[in-house]
Structure 1
């Protein structure tokens, strides 16, 4: 059990701790899961899961940015939220959901994601952590190609490629340094698309993953999938 002395962890009392270059290991499994949940919940505008709602739009008003997304007050006192660049029409949502509903994957590759897709509610149910892993790296880029503008799709595909590069079985240090720059640029591009409420701490942690892969080695030795199976 970890004990603390005031605000300083007991780990810092270890004689070798100051020489430990990787003191805290970020769990890629949970980061990838939460980032994928943010994306899916926001683009499908799922109630309670979307990061684009009235409160997030009012935050834009307070910050005096993204004037095109500011909520409009109607005559009855309610608000109208202008459509954003990542908003999908009803038809586009149907196409996106149909792609995931009709998807077939090899045995043991992933669970049956098509069973988790509800065409009526246009949302995903009962996904496990590994399902989000497959969605983020393989299925999401395919499903979004015909449902969204190229600017949004290219950013999400680049984020998927970054996660795939980090999770590779064989890592090249020089390539990971390039991935580090790509991660910073991709997050900046995403900030131009999604509202500030989209960027939870999990999304921001993505920028640290390439550097941690350089220090700690392949991710599959350090994430929590084996622990969850046990």
Structure 2
């Protein structure tokens, strides 16, 4: 449950480049430089010990942020489906913050891919869609063990694709734990018996 929230927070913070929450900072870019990979987004040292960090493929422009957040601000959902996510959108500061666990649950599975569709490149949108499909399948009321094996393989591939795009700092322990969720579901059964969204809401 909290893995889903942490992955959601990582994605939102990095895509919107939120201060203190983004995983794409100067240290992450310097790590890429030390590893000798992705030269196109290495930071360039300027005068006065400052650095210029070129935008990566997942970096949203001001217009893309406005489009993404406007979709969320104007979104209407049925009663009881989720809390009012538009309350967490700050268009002036271009921020999305204070999402609760259940908000992230709904956001990751249904809303995030739709809202991002016109705001990010195809490879970033594909990753978010794959994560969304993974969580949706994992949280279904009926689980087939054979499908769980496939889910486990799929999420491993998704993480590999993410490693090609996002900086190393993005991959916290919570992101790594995605790979174990399908195996946990094999042992514990459907997650809605264990994840505590009704209690938290």
Q: Provide TM-score, normalisation by structure 1.
A: 0.85
Higher alpha-carbon deviation: 65-74 or 42-51: 65-74
Which of 57, 62, 68 is the aligned partner of 2:40?
68
Say whether 1:122 aligns with 2:80.
no
Which of 14, 17, 25 is the aligned partner of 1:53?
25
Structure 1 unaligned regions, length at least 5: 1-28
Structure 1 residues 188-199: aligned runs within 5 Å: 188-199=160-171
Deviation at 1:76, TM superposition (A): 3.7
Say whether 1:150 aligns with 2:130.
no
Structure 2 unaligned regions, length at least 5: none
- Counterpart of 1:203? 175
CA RMSD of superposed structures (Å): 1.1
Deviation at 1:216, TM superposition (A): 1.1
Tell me how far apart the structure 2 counterparts of residues 135 and 158 of structure 1 sit (CA, whole Å).
Answer: 14
Between Structure 1 and Structure 2, how many residues are aligned? 201
Extract structure 1 runs of 4+ deviating beyond 6 A.
none
Q: Deviations over 1:5-64 (max 9, x none)?
A: xxxxxxxxxxxxxxxxxxxxxxxx100000000000000000000000011111112222
Structure 1 residues 59-208: aligned runs within 5 Å: 59-208=31-180
- Counterpart of 2:190? 218
Deviation at 1:105, TM superposition (A): 0.6
Structure number with larger C-alpha Rg = 1
Tell me how far apart the structure 2 counterparts of residues 70 and 41 of structure 1 sit (CA, whole Å).
Answer: 20
Higher helix share: 2
